[in-house]
Structure 1
Amino acid sequence: MSVTDRVSALFKGPEELELTSGSIAKPLLYLSLPIVITNLFQTAYNIADTFWLGQYSTDALAAITFAFPMVFLLIALALGISVAGSVLVAQYVGADEEERAEYAASQTVAFAAVAAVVLGAIGFVFVDEFLVLLGASADVTPLATSYMQVYSVGLVAVFGFAVFVSLMRGYGDTVTPMLVMFGSVVLNILLDPLLIFGFDQNPLFGYLGLRGLESQLFALTGYTGSGIEGAAIATVFSRLLALVVGLVIMFQGTRGVRIRLSQMKPDADYARRLLDIGVPASIEGTARALSVNLLLVVVALFPDTVAAAYGIGTRVFSVIFLPAIAFSQGVETMTGQNIGAGKLDRAEYANHYGAKVMLGALTAFGAVVFLAAHPIAAVFTQNPEVAAIGAEFLRYAALTFGFIGVMRSYSGGFRGAGQTLIAAVISIAMLGFIRLPIAWVGAHRLGVEGLWIAFAVSNVLGGVISYVWFERGTWRDADVTEARGPSAAPDATDD
């Protein structure tokens, strides 16, 4: 078997997967593995921006730190539409209602475009006020504003691609978005240094040993780069091309779900259905974004060494939890399709199986992190005090990683059943009513250990609450026919 054949064998397209019959383990794995890789590519986006802007200037690096919370907030507010579209497509595909799946996808794309334009305009106009709220300095604010204004204008491209990924996942195709994302990441990594530095003293040419070519290009163009705006332009442009590719794929309908221009006329009844599912999902995403920022208020009670250690811990968590996020989205698709097919017992089994796998796998990862906490923390810093504090943080949280996997898996099941409000309530309860208060009280009474304890306790309780709520069986009340109206698929002719 050739190398290409071996790589191809790792992935299966939706035509090779049977989500509503047969094995649970294999299709869930084949759904989730490409999502893990896609999420890693997304991480590469952020790393590329951070790396090159760090090479450019300290102020630019600080500016991107203040810009990212606003980026996350805008995406979180729009997230619900993509989740709702993914759930409805999954349910209709499971019910063998191909035309209704196409209509759901077409309506989702239309409403996503409207939401992105509105949120982009809000972000563009109010970026200064948001940065003041975050406490950005006078040196950093103009740079962060420049980045966010470009990003806000391009939000249609950024969010549009996220919708493409969600709709394809709902259909059962996670491989195509992974491949498109790969091309987009490579383009962004190449464009970043060129648009940030231009052709005058560009470190990329130094790394590649092409200083002579750099001088020739600079003499020809005189381009000195666009600084932090260049990073935003690189991100928006690479996502725009990815979106164009995604739209071509969906309009052709040769892979994944098909969309049709004739079905994109906004449907008020369908808008209400999208809002019913999507608003709680947006609330969940927004709550996660806000909780991260609010925890920084508690972290600020301690010296900078603790803040640095906290940053190390959260970076490690973001990598460890990638499989949990992927399995959650895989469970979401399997739940949606099996509910659409009327196979509730199979949907239930998929949730329990995903939770068990994540409990075991992330607990094993956590054990490794617990044992190697100090070497892991030391990778991120040369300060021995920061490494010691970071190691302590990792040890407190590591053995509870499995419970995060449990919570994520069952939350995916609730979303797949269309009950996004339950997933939102669990997330808000864990982050806002368990972790944050314990962190605040613990920090004042126990010191920094109280902050770390908050993570461990909230992780465990989040997993337990998710399991108990899922066992209540309220998710079985999901009804795919709620989305079916007289205008559900009025025109399935070719455009």
Structure 2
Amino acid sequence: MKPALDLHKDPIRILIFKMTTPMMVAGFVTTSYGFVDMIFASRLGSLEVASIAFVTPLFIMLKAFASGVTRGGVSIIATLLGEEKKEKASAYATQLRLLIIVLSIIFAIPGVFLLPAILKAVGVSTELYNQALIYSQILFFSVPAMLIFQLYISLFKSQGKMKVISTISILGIICNAILNAVFLYIIEFKIDGLAYATLLTSAIQMLIILYLYGHQEHQFNIGWRTSSNYSKAAIWTKLLKVGLPLSFTQASSHFGFLVLNVFIVQFGHQAVAAFAIGNRINSLLFSPAKEIGGGLIPLIAQNWGRGAIDRVKETIKLGLLYSLIIGISAAFLIQLIKYPIAHFLTKDDPETYQHVINYVGLVGWTAIAWAVFHALQGIVNSFQKTMFTLVVNTVRLWGIRIPGILLFYAFLPSVAEYGIWYTMFLSNTITVLFAIAYFMMIVPPMLNKKEEAERIKARQKIEELIT
């Protein structure tokens, strides 16, 4: 069966649009999934919003850790498909699934028992502790389904099969909204109803994608046993070598939000709720912009594997241009939607409302830097140079964001939570400048070297034909 897109022959401009648009739609829908939870939580009160906001980064951190391994694995698989090594790609896909299953068990079971200690360690109020514990202990059981669903989405993406991604994501948000309404308004649950709705939605999405994947033909096979021609240990080593830098990068980024919550909670649960609502508003458009880089990975990786350097260069150029346009559009749109959404979600709480407007009004403009940064990240990850992501994100979190917050906290306590808003703005802006410099050091020399190697190889083939 011919793949939905021919990553080796179709025009790059069309491919970028077709590869990134479904990912952006899926990113928007996935963010809307959390936004729907926020809408229902806001009907319960600012305490429930703050409780969900306080523990959500922990779950996103675990999901992001597994996502790093998955993205690294997909980059390897896409490169192997480009090199027409389908049996080896199948071996990697099989072991990648086993690795994700192992990670899901490691995350889910200990998490349920460690949660009370984690929440007590950060010193939250009794009310916030009780609500956050109820919500998070239920949600931990959804981790395996979330990670397996995420894996199969990536396997579809590695083959250029993009339509299924946005379709399942849209079904997920509809299902989540219906279940939230049922648990809150019919069964009359409280915050636990939101958690049960997410748990059931995750299970349904996982079952749907397993069914769809099993009833389609693919460019590689995924089973439970790997051919004896390939070393399982070598495959796991390669998957972890490529994936762990991405995992630690994405997980540390969300760990940073946990740290931020520890500071913000000192200004009251209204500030925590405002931070959560503000992030939801930003994420509605930040998340689609972020997915541009993910859409570029299989396109660049497969053409890199085939030695099609001209197509790789064109993809990079157009991908960065596309990300800049999307980022600028997102930044302006965020400023337009912040007022009605903040008013709707704060339920006539003027203090929380003003916090939201101030935060989004400042940080929303960094959607431009965010889009360009993630395009650069996706491009470099396509070459399996995942240390780029680790270095740049480490600088953002530990070199700029957390030190900046500590400086504001120590020397300018009068600015209160606004010190965190300013630090968020500065860290996002400075990070993209650092990423551009790092990118220029790595990618152009690597492309030139590969291009020269391909020219020498072509010349040798011509000489062999002549002789």
TM-score between the two structures when normalised by the length of structure 1: 0.78
Root-mean-square deviation over aligned CA pairs = 3.4
Matched, 1:426 2:395: no
SS of residue matched to 1:262: coil
Question: How far apart are the structure 1 equivalents of 2:426 and 2:405?
Answer: 10
State the shift of 1:288 in Å. Answer: 1.0
Deviations along 1:113-135, one digit per CA (max 9) or x if unpaired, are 11111111121221211221233
Question: How far apart are the structure 1 equivalents of 2:133 and 2:25?
Answer: 31
Question: How far apart are the structure 1 equivalents of 2:45 and 2:345?
Answer: 20
Question: How far apart are the structure 1 equivalents of 2:127 and 2:365?
Answer: 42
Aligned length: 443
Matched, 1:411 2:377: yes
Matched, 1:70 2:33: no
Aligned AA for 2:53?
T
Aligned with 2:96 (options 104, 108, 118): 108
Query: Alpha carbons of 1:89 and 1:364: their partners in 2 closer, same or farther (altered >3 Å)?
Result: same
Mapping 1:464-479, distance limit 5 Å: 464-473=433-442
Aligned AA for 2:223?
R
Aligned AA for 2:415?
G
**Correspondence for 1:349:** 314
Question: How far apart are the structure 1 equivalents of 2:40 and 2:391?
Answer: 39
Aligned with 1:174 (options 162, 165, 177): 162
Aligned AA for 2:81?
V
Query: Alpha carbons of 1:234 and 1:313: their partners in 2 closer, same or farther (altered >3 Å)?
Result: closer
Aligned with 2:213 (options 214, 230, 250): 250
Equivalent pair of 2:86/2:219 in contact (CA under 8 Å): no
**Correspondence for 2:423:** 454
Aligned with 2:195 (options 222, 228, 232): 232
Equivalent pair of 1:78/1:112 in contact (CA under 8 Å): yes
Matched, 1:337 2:302: yes
Equivalent pair of 1:91/1:336 in contact (CA under 8 Å): yes
Aligned AA for 1:415?
N
Equivalent pair of 2:334/2:364 in contact (CA under 8 Å): yes
Aligned AA for 1:247?
L
Equivalent pair of 1:52/1:192 in contact (CA under 8 Å): yes
State the shift of 1:313 in Å. Answer: 3.6
Mapping 1:208-287, distance limit 5 Å: 227-254=190-217, 258-263=221-226, 267-287=232-252
State the shift of 1:139 in Å. Answer: 4.2
Aligned AA for 1:342?
G
SS of residue matched to 1:261: coil
**Correspondence for 2:459:** none
SS of residue matched to 2:126: coil
Question: How far apart are the structure 2 equivalents of 1:182 and 1:188?
Answer: 10
TM-score between the two structures when normalised by the length of structure 2: 0.82
Mapping 1:46-61, distance limit 5 Å: 46-55=34-43, 61=49
State the shift of 1:226 in Å. Answer: 6.0
SS of residue matched to 2:217: coil
Question: How far apart are the structure 2 equivalents of 1:332 and 1:434?
Answer: 28
Question: How far apart are the structure 2 equivalents of 1:377 and 1:86?
Answer: 38
Mapping 1:288-437, distance limit 5 Å: 288-299=253-264, 310-367=275-332, 369=334, 378=343, 380-381=345-346, 382=348, 390-437=356-403
State the shift of 1:73 in Å. Answer: 2.6
Query: Alpha carbons of 1:473 and 1:22: their partners in 2 closer, same or farther (altered >3 Å)?
Result: farther
Q: Using the TM superposition, name which of 258-267 and 169-178 deviates more.
A: 258-267
More helix by share: 2
**Correspondence for 2:171:** 183
Question: How far apart are the structure 2 equivalents of 1:249 and 1:376?
Answer: 36
Question: How far apart are the structure 1 equivalents of 2:361 and 2:80?
Answer: 44
State the shift of 1:36 in Å. Answer: 1.9
Deviations along 1:146-195, one digit per CA (max 9) or x if unpaired, are 4433333332212110111112112222211222233333333323343x
**Correspondence for 1:24:** 12
Matched, 1:129 2:117: yes
SS of residue matched to 2:24: helix
Deviations along 1:83-117, one digit per CA (max 9) or x if unpaired, are 12221222122222233222222211111111111
Q: Using the TM superposition, name which of 184-193 and 59-68 deviates more.
A: 59-68
Query: Alpha carbons of 1:135 and 1:236: their partners in 2 closer, same or farther (altered >3 Å)?
Result: same
Question: How far apart are the structure 2 equivalents of 1:143 and 1:301?
Answer: 18
Query: Alpha carbons of 1:263 and 1:192: their partners in 2 closer, same or farther (altered >3 Å)?
Result: farther
Equivalent pair of 2:54/2:258 in contact (CA under 8 Å): no
Equivalent pair of 1:440/1:451 in contact (CA under 8 Å): no
Question: How far apart are the structure 1 equivalents of 2:22 and 2:51?
Answer: 32
Question: How far apart are the structure 2 equivalents of 1:323 and 1:298?
Answer: 28
State the shift of 1:380 in Å. Answer: 4.8
Question: How far apart are the structure 2 equivalents of 1:306 and 1:231?
Answer: 22
Q: Using the TM superposition, name which of 445-454 and 403-412 deviates more.
A: 445-454
Matched, 1:154 2:142: yes
**Correspondence for 2:74:** 86
State the shift of 1:476 in Å. Answer: 6.9
State the shift of 1:350 in Å. Answer: 1.9
SS of residue matched to 1:321: helix
Structure 2 unaligned regions, length at least 5: 451-467
Equivalent pair of 1:369/1:376 in contact (CA under 8 Å): no
